[in-house]
Amino acid sequence: FCIELLLIFLELCQVCECHWVNHMHISYEYETYITYVEIDNSNLQSVLINIDKRINDLRQEEQSILKVCNKLSQFLKQNSITPYNDDILEYIRYFVREEEMKKSAGSNNEDVIQGLKNMIKEYELEQKLFDANFTRTTTSTASNFIHNERGVEDIFGLVSKLYKLPINGSSIRQQVEELKAKQWVVNEKREHFVKVPINANSSTIMQQLKRIVSQK
């Protein structure tokens, strides 16, 4: 029982003990069947129009999300103290692997896989253009945009635009709020603030600590 809990905590499979990211966790099979639905011919045209509109709206939101992700990545890349790793590409590649597993299980999802791969190409192209521009000059408009206060405000404005997307905005906001809550829990467990007494500055331990810090 303890081992099972440990595997769950480490996000490992209880069968093969590999990580969930790489594990083929498809526990079902696909069966293709045809369903016939009767549609009133008089309303058929309006139904098709609504479907096309929905598809176009989703594609527009996809482009908006990718643009914001690119700008956020650029912001983090330029302002990160530690080396920055772009997890967005790996996140999309993860979904590609998931869809490929579904395909091997019988799903007819070639269009979904190709769409995700096209998304990766567009994102990589945008990043290459930005990197080339940033390498040529450090005093470019893009650089100034990132390093001033107005640039930071614009970054928050971009996130607000994501929240206002008609289709995916509410789900994006919900995911961000959940991530914030989890991060808060992690920080509470990791950081501890202790109120030091007024006379602690003259204590023996504090003096020893000061000497150790000054020697580094």
Instruction: Name which of 37-41, 87-91, 115-119, 190-194 the model is least confident about.
Output: 190-194
pLDDT tens for each residue of 157-183? 888 888 999 999 999 898 888 878 877
pLDDT tens for each residue of 93-139? 888 998 998 888 888 889 989 999 998 888 888 778 777 766 654 54
Q: Is 178 exposed, middle or buried (0-12, 13-18, 19+ CB in 10 A)?
A: exposed
pLDDT tens for each residue of 180-206? 887 777 667 665 566 666 666 666 666
Token pair of 44, please? 């058929």
Residue pair 134/146 in contact (Cβ under 8 Å)? The answer is: no
Instruction: Name which of 50-54, 60-64, 102-106 the model is least confident about.
Output: 102-106
